[in-house]
Structure 1
Amino acid sequence: MSRFTRSAAILTLSAGALASFSAMAADELHYNQISLRAEASQEVARDKMIVTLYTESQNTDPAKLAADITTTVNQALGQAREVKAVTLRQGSRNSYPIYDNKTQKITGWRERAELRLESADFPALSKLTGELLNTLKMGGMDFAIADATRKASEDALLKDAVAAFKARAQLATDALGGKGYKIVNLNFNTNGYPQPYERGAMMMKGALMDSAPTPEVEAGTSKVSMSADGTIEVLQ
């Protein structure tokens, strides 16, 4: 056998041995590995109230229309700023032409501007809303979980989810007759934190306008959860 042939044979053998070694290493890496899932959940209060109010009008003069809408919004903002517990956010503002059905010519303009109020103080926001309904209309009333409350609940759920995962990992290890386990990877996912949902605007409007006392508001709770998905390696 020539030197070149022998070298080629050695190279082929070495490549084959390397491939075998890689395959063995891959098999060993996944040996006695199992995937597990655990979950923790809790009820979290919807502690943020969100009210959307709006003003809408029409006029043949778009400049006068815009001025009237601006005046109404500015008055509402000034009144709302007096209530320190309420956060103000200006919503959308839209203007569009009104056409004659027959000639399709512009006969006027309609404009709408929104004001968004948020607060954890439900009585204060309810009272302010009732007062603002003298000049504005109710767009909707929503409830959500405040950012600080969400973070606190996520921190608590993470600890509970880890504890649940470790308990399940130990249970699986005992069932397989292992001496112990090590965590290969672990991922967390949260579920159930709600987007704000709208309560019936007309019903709430009537409740706020037709009675002098501030109406009671019950936002309720949401069941939220955190799952722990991961892989462990059982040690023999």
Structure 2
Amino acid sequence: MLNRQTLTTLFAAASLSLLSLGAQANEPRYNQVALRAEVNREIAHDLMHVTFYSEAQDKDPAKLAAQITTELNQAMGLARSVKGVQVALGSRHSYPVYDDKGQRITAWRERAELRLESADFGALSTLTGEMLQSLKMAGMHFSIASPTRKAEEDALLKDAVAAFKARAQLATEALGGSGYKLVSLNLNSGGFHSPMPRMAAMKGAAMMMEAAVTPEVEAGSSQVSVSADGVIEVMMP
């Protein structure tokens, strides 16, 4: 067995070792620099979305609902016959219409939406012209498909890291350092930013509803950005 003196020596050595580790952990780190690099790219929209609606009014709510349902079913049948077009029902609601005094219900009004999506702009544009013969257009917009979004973000992540390294090297040279160590690095996607719809496009949609012709479309693009935020420690000679 160990005697008391030996145990005391061992405990003292262990205490000194722990104090040394604690001191190292609390040592201040010098020559740290926070940096940020950002890269961005314009990405062409590759998905087209069109929302149609049917709206009517009748004194008989059951008759009204049947009319709206018939129009939607016919439109969905037409849309499903076009290859590459995704079809989905949107919102649908009805509400009472009151007389001038607001006391008695005189009729019911109902509105239902149908949403179409496709990567084939030509096919959906032609279908839009046909759909406008029976439905009205609530809106048209363009977006970027999820696989395209992921591929572009992955590519930009590599560019953002390369840009951060270049900036870190510049900072090191400016401080007269011999090199640097990476302390931390955070990569963030700034998302996609689409321009606001133009009034001319909205007026064109109104004209299409009246003329029921195949609309010409311009998909446009969105900007995606990825940033690299990090801290480096410059090693001085």
Q: Output the CA distance in 1 between the equivalents of 2:62 and 2:185.
A: 60
Deviation at 1:32, TM superposition (A): 1.8
Identity of aligned residues (%): 63
Deviation at 1:88, TM superposition (A): 1.1
After superposition, the C-alpha distances for 1:87-107 in whole angstroms (9 at most, x for unaligned) are 112110011111112151111
Q: What is residue 98 of structure 2 aligned with on the other side?
A: 99
Change (3 A) 1:70 1:23: farther
What SS is found at the alignment partner of 1:69?
Answer: helix
Change (3 A) 1:162 1:177: same
CA contact (8 A) 2:133 2:212 kept: no
Q: What is residue 229 of structure 2 aligned with on the other side?
A: 229
The amino acid of 1:110's aligned partner reads: R
What SS is found at the alignment partner of 1:83?
Answer: coil
Bigger CA drift: 215-224 or 43-52? 215-224
Deviation at 1:23, TM superposition (A): 7.6
After superposition, the C-alpha distances for 1:172-209 in whole angstroms (9 at most, x for unaligned) are 11222222222221112222503696564452242476
Q: What is residue 79 of structure 1 aligned with on the other side?
A: 78
Q: Output the CA distance in 2 between the equivalents of 1:168 and 1:124.
A: 47
Q: Output the CA distance in 2 between the equivalents of 1:87 and 1:176.
A: 57
Q: Output the CA distance in 2 between the equivalents of 1:23 and 1:171.
A: 32
After superposition, the C-alpha distances for 1:71-122 in whole angstroms (9 at most, x for unaligned) are 1111111110011211112110011111112151111111000011111111
Answering whether residue 207 of structure 2 is matched by residue 206 of structure 1, we say yes
Bigger CA drift: 135-144 or 219-228? 219-228
Q: What is residue 89 of structure 1 aligned with on the other side?
A: 88
Change (3 A) 1:62 1:235: same
The 5 Å alignment of 1:72-221 reads: 72-191=71-190, 193-194=192-193, 198=197, 200-207=201-208, 210=211, 212=213, 214-221=214-221
What SS is found at the alignment partner of 2:193?
Answer: coil
CA contact (8 A) 1:141 1:198 kept: no
Answering whether residue 59 of structure 2 is matched by residue 56 of structure 1, we say no
Normalising to structure 2: TM-score of the pair? 0.83
Q: Output the CA distance in 1 between the equivalents of 2:154 and 2:65.
A: 47
Structure 2: runs of 5+ lacking an equivalent: 1-14
Q: Output the CA distance in 1 between the equivalents of 2:207 and 2:140.
A: 13
The count of aligned residue pairs is: 218
The amino acid of 2:169's aligned partner reads: Q
Normalising to structure 1: TM-score of the pair? 0.83
Answering whether residue 40 of structure 2 is matched by residue 41 of structure 1, we say yes
Q: Output the CA distance in 1 between the equivalents of 2:30 and 2:49.
A: 53
After superposition, the C-alpha distances for 1:124-157 in whole angstroms (9 at most, x for unaligned) are 0010011011110010111111111111110111
Deviation at 1:160, TM superposition (A): 0.4
Q: Output the CA distance in 1 between the equivalents of 2:165 and 2:103.
A: 70
What SS is found at the alignment partner of 1:116?
Answer: strand
What SS is found at the alignment partner of 1:193?
Answer: strand
The amino acid of 2:126's aligned partner reads: K
CA contact (8 A) 2:50 2:140 kept: yes
Bigger CA drift: 187-196 or 86-95? 187-196
CA contact (8 A) 1:143 1:198 kept: no
